Chain A
Amino acid sequence: MKETLIIAGFGGQGVLSMGKILAYSGVMQDFEVTWMPSYGPEMRGGTANVTVILSDRKISSPIAYEYDTAIILNQQSLDKFEAKIRPGGTLIYDTNGITHHPARTDIHIYAINATEESAKLGNSKLFNTMILGGYLKVCPVVTLENVKLGLKKSLPERAWKMLPENEKAILHGAEIIRQVR
């Protein structure tokens, strides 16, 4: 098993922390993991992305040249990374603000509107865990139990009171994701 994943969007959408939750979930499942962020201008309001690799054997390069899966959270990232998904791979995107939808026909494409759904729940901070839930529905690389453990591990203790809400958001994300092609 090897899953090479990119999560890309705006700074502040929880891109890096979603990657961290997934990486920690991988640790809980005894996978080798790497979490390679873009850093710098991204943290200051631009686009942000993180490459997460989960594997059952040693990971050679933490830098990827094509992705099994891309989780795309804004138009700029869609424009940049759609072409870098391997044929047969998976694209998951949040439809909010997307004007030019993905065009490729050789990959699996899923859409999720977590921006709207998390706003409906009254907590836009649940956006990224909702997306994560959608991803795990489509690509169940780690078990829900290990995701719960990973979520707890990646949050500081003061944020543990948020765990139940985030777990609900994961389940909700799994429900609302839909296949486009």
Chain B
Amino acid sequence: MAQQQEVKLMKGNEVIAHAAIRFGCDAYFGYPITPQSEVMETLMELKPWETTGMVVLQAESEISSINMVYGAAATGKRVMTSSSSPGISLMAEGISYIAGAELPCLIVNCQRGGPGLGTIQPSQGDYFQACKGGGHGDYHLIVLAPYSVQEMHDFVELGFELAFKYRNPAMILADGAIGQMMEKVVLAPQQSRMSEEEIASRYGSWATYGKPADRARNVVTSLEMQPEMMERNNLRMGAKYRLIEENEVRYEAIGCDDADYVLVAFGSSARICSATVEMARAEGLRVGLLRPITLYPFPMQPIAELAKRVKGFLSVELNAGQMVEDVRLAVNGVAPVAHYGRQGGMIYTPDEVLTALKQKLIKA
């Protein structure tokens, strides 16, 4: 029980590594890139292959990493990778294949500024890529947006849980700020990895861990040459996405009950905006913050409900305006929606956000 009280000071990236081991991850395949390299560095330091038996492998590229994840996930194992924006772009094909083959896995994107090689400083410019595709075809990732080092830890467990519940890849969409920042974190006690028997009994209907004599072979593929069959697959996945949208929306509403204006922000932006809310309220302005925890599924309903009684929404993102499109869909013209962002690795301060709110909505 003493283990449960273990308070550490760690970077978000280091915590991803510790959490992966503690939540019984079977394998990590990755390739270094700033600002997430501490994930694999920490795993290499901790040497989990000597304790839990977890495999940690630096592949020759991000493309190899994600395809190793694909192969290992097909066996019913808990597998993951991590990268930062340009590396995630390289993985896009593999991610689409994994979604198409309906396999569970965890992908961590510690975002940096783009497009292209861009910058190594924090950004939230990969919202579209994470939530709207990135790879080709009709698919969704389950996307979790941590706003603290503790949530980097907690969402490793949640990400795996949801990935296996829906047989769908899950992504932790962090950014350079959350990955590089140190905060207090309470680490979970060590859980054991799943045994071969447990995998067989839980995932025997689909996983390719070795065919026993008493059942037909499992086939893992995203390919289906017959259009009738492929459409059936698409519809089955669509039904799964509706189920995810109905059951897995997570968000936090701070000061929204009496709010005239609501900031919508995720990840490091939500941390900054929570200070903006305090500053605004000290000035007598009734400002709230709605923080989506799941970016897909997006908290459409809570925003639609708020839209009926607030005077406006400001979507605050470290990009040119991406999540604001989902906010507008949720609000559906009922209230004004504006966007405020910084790009290129620049980060707004809480007072800058308050000034933007006043200029864009309150004075308007």
Q: Please give the residue numbers on chain A whose beta carbons come within 8 Å of chain B beta carbons, in ascending order.
A: 20, 23-24, 27, 32-37, 39-40, 60-65, 153-154
Contacts and interface: CB of A to CB of B under 8 A. Distances in A.
Nearest to B278: A60
Given A35-B181, A36-B177, A39-B120, 8 more contacts: A24-B9, A33-B182, A33-B183, A33-B184, A36-B181, A60-B278, A60-B350, A65-B349
A32 B184 contact: yes
Contact of A27 (B7, B278, B350): B7
B121 interface: yes
5 contacts: A20-B182, A24-B9, A40-B34, A65-B351, A153-B9
Contacts of B349: 61, 63-65
A97 to B, nearest CB: 27
Contacts of A154: 9
Interface residues of B, number: 26
Instruction: From A27, A40, A64, name the one whose CB has the most chain B CB atoms within 10 angstroms.
Output: A40
Contact of A60 (B34, B120, B182, B271): B271
Contacts of A65: 349-352
B312 interface: no
B39 to A, nearest CB: 14
B271 A61 contact: yes
B32 interface: no
Contact of B121 (A32, A36, A40, A60): A40
Interface of B: 7, 9, 34-35, 120-121, 176-177, 180-184, 268, 271-272, 274-278, 347, 349-352
Given A60-B274, A62-B271, A23 B9 contact: yes
A61 B181 contact: no
A37 B271 contact: no
Contacts of A39: 34-35, 120, 176, 180
Instruction: From A27, A37, A39, A61, name the one whose CB has the most chain B CB atoms within 10 angstroms.
Output: A61
Given A27-B9, A63-B347, A65-B350, A36 B272 contact: no
Instruction: From A24, A27, A60, name the one whose CB has the most chain B CB atoms within 10 angstroms.
Output: A60
Contacts of A20: 9, 182
A64 B350 CA distance: 8
B183 A34 contact: yes
Given A60-B271, A60-B275, A61-B271, A35 B9 contact: yes
A35 B182 CA distance: 5
Contacts of B182: 20, 23, 33-36
A40 B123 CA distance: 14
Contacts of A37: 180-181
A27 B9 CA distance: 8
A20 B180 CA distance: 13
A23 B176 CA distance: 19
Nearest to B183: A34
Contacts of A40: 34-35, 120-121
B272 A35 contact: no
B145 to A, nearest CB: 16
